[in-house]
Amino acid sequence: MAVNGQGEQGDLRVTLTVSQREAMEGTTRLLYLPDGRTLNVIIPPGTQSGQVIRIDGHGLPVNGQLGALLITVTLAQTEQTGSQMSPMDGSDAPTAFHAPPPPVSPQMYPGYSQYPNYNQSGTSVDYQTPKNGGQTVQSGANATPDYYTPVSSTPLSTPLPASLPSTPLATPSSSSYYAPGQLGPAARPPSRNARGSRSVMTVSVIIGLVVLLAASGLIYYAGFYLPDQRHKTSVQQTTVVQDTAIAQANSTGTAQASATAYPQTRYSQITDQQPAFSYSLSSNTANTWDENAHCLFTNGSYHAIEEQTGYFFYCMNNAQKYGNFAFQVKMTFLRGGLGGIMFRADVQNSKYYLLRFDRSGRYDLFLYVDSNVQHVKKLAGDVTDALSQSLNQPNLITLIVQGNTFALYINSQYVVTLTDPNSTFSSGNIGVTAEDYTDAAEISYQQAKLWKL
């Protein structure tokens, strides 16, 4: 970095040389100013040689006010990246400001109709919302719907029995009449023809009765018994289905109640224990929290302040790194609309999770893997009515981090369990943030507690 000199009203002009690849893809540079100050500057993707980045309030003091810092970007002739010193460790090191995740929808901020772009008069960030993949299932044009083939039936018919055979009665003739006292001819046994006719008649009668009985039984079965059985079976099946549906509904309700009851029970079990650390945040008594112009202990609480629209500021606890834990803190919106918690953070390499809260009731979980804002991934997000949306109204935020699952509680009420399917980070530092897209932001934090799991 070369210092060009002092311009009007305390403006400080410097020249920053970056490689062509850094100008094309974007990067972050730490500048060492002549008066000993350091400043993280984001070089946006697509920066041209000769482009000027202006940052107000970081120039030279004139009449009690700081002028602007004017950074002229030039490109190196060969594809080389120069090395820069990292900021020194310690609680008094300046808090870096990074480009925030993609902004909330325009409906949440009336008048905010488009993403900010880089230009020569400011340092706002060109946001791009991460795209989500998906699949579309399309039915075939010749798909045949399911249907039932009707079963045809033939009406029952019963054959009537044949008419019974009969033998005509014989009429006595005159030759067979005898006067009283006369003996008639000797009686003769019936002929074989007469006996055969009677046998045929008897068999026919029996067959007719059998057929009649069979027909009556078939008519009763088809007309009365079978419909009655079908009705009884239908009633039984309906009763079974209704009982099953009631049982399933009761089972579902029990499962849902259990799913909510377990996280709430776990919350009580953890928070009833002695925490690993507990800070009132009225002052930096343990000297483990960042303390600078953007991270102040004032009015009995820890304030994260963002004065530069388009960035979010973080204030870290540098005591040690934590993997599985429960973290709890009271968050109060004083100005602006976005606060949050950073966890499993490696700020030197821009790797961390950011759980962000909007005054409208929205929460979002982002994954940062490097300093390139194009690589930010949104893992989850939704709206809850558990968050108080009023200014100066504290919200008790509790986050239980176990493996790749993050259970969120707001004002002691279970909200949701979020996940990182890839288990990207396993441990890191914890911090709090302030952010806004249209105005300055100031978020107050109190009563920070942490339980190791």
132-136, 283-287, 372-376: segment of lowest average pLDDT: 132-136
What is the Cα–Cα distance from 355 to 380, expressed in whole angstroms?
10
Please tell me the distance from the alpha carbon of residue 315 to that of residue 45, in angstroms, as a whole number. 27
Q: What are phi and psi of 414, to 5 degrees?
A: -65, 130
Convert the pLDDT of each residue in 3-30 to its tens digit: 665 556 678 888 888 888 888 888 988 8
**Predicted confidence (pLDDT) at residue 152 exceeds the cutoff of 70:** no
Which of 66-70, 99-103, 185-189, 302-306 has the largest mean confidence? 302-306
Q: Given a cut of 80, is residue 449 above it in pLDDT?
A: yes
* pTM as predicted: 0.48
- Higher-pLDDT residue of 80 and 435 is 435
Token code pair at residue 206: 């029996």
Residue 111 in tokens: 């008048």
Per this entry, what is the length of the chain? Answer: 453
> In the prediction, which pLDDT does 206 show?
87
Q: What's residue 343's pLDDT?
A: 98
Instruction: Write the pLDDT tens digit of every residue in 334-347.
Output: 998 799 999 999 99
**Is residue 313 helix, strand or coil?**
strand
In this prediction, residue 2 has a pLDDT band, given cuts at 50, 70 and 90, of low
Range with lowest mean pLDDT among 123-132, 251-260, 391-400, 412-421:
123-132
Domain formed by 277-452, architecture: Sandwich (2.60)
Q: Whose CA is closest to 351, among 330, 333, 366?
A: 366
d(CA 237, CA 251) in angstroms, rounded, equals 21
pLDDT for residue 119: 36
- pLDDT exceeds 60 at position 399: yes
pLDDT at 129: 34
Topology of the domain comprising 2-82: HSP40/DNAj peptide-binding domain (2.60.260)
Range with the poorest average pLDDT among 78-87, 121-130, 284-293: 121-130
Q: Could you tell me which residue, 215 or 40, shows the higher pLDDT?
A: 40
Could you write out the DSSP letters of every residue in 219-269? HHIIIIIHHHHHHHHHHHHHHHHHHHHHHHHHHHHHHHHHHHHHHHHHHHH
Mean of pLDDT values over 273-288: 93
Q: Give the chain's mean pLDDT.
A: 74
What pLDDT does residue 325 have? 97
- Predicted pLDDT of residue 194: 54
Instruction: Name which of 226-235, 267-276, 288-297 the model is least confident about.
Output: 226-235
Mean pLDDT of 370-386: 94
**Tens-place pLDDT, residues 411-447:** 999 999 999 999 999 999 999 999 988 888 999 999 9
169: pLDDT strictly greater than 50: no
Any alpha helices (H) in 165-225, and if so which ranges?
192-220
Answer yes or no: is pLDDT of 228 > 70.
no
The beta-carbon contacts of 303-306 under 8 Å, at least 24 apart in sequence, are: 303/334, 303/442, 303/443, 303/444, 303/445, 304/339, 304/432, 304/433, 304/434, 304/442, 304/443, 304/445, 305/434, 305/440, 305/441, 305/442, 306/97, 306/336, 306/434, 306/435, 306/436, 306/440, 306/441, 306/442
d(CA 308, CA 438): 10
Contacts of 323 (CB under 8 A, 6+ apart): 344, 401, 426, 427
Q: Is the pLDDT of residue 161 over 50?
A: no
Please state, for a pLDDT cut of 70, what percent of the chain lies above it: 63
pLDDT digits (tens, 9 = 90+) for 351-377: 999 999 999 999 999 999 999 989 999
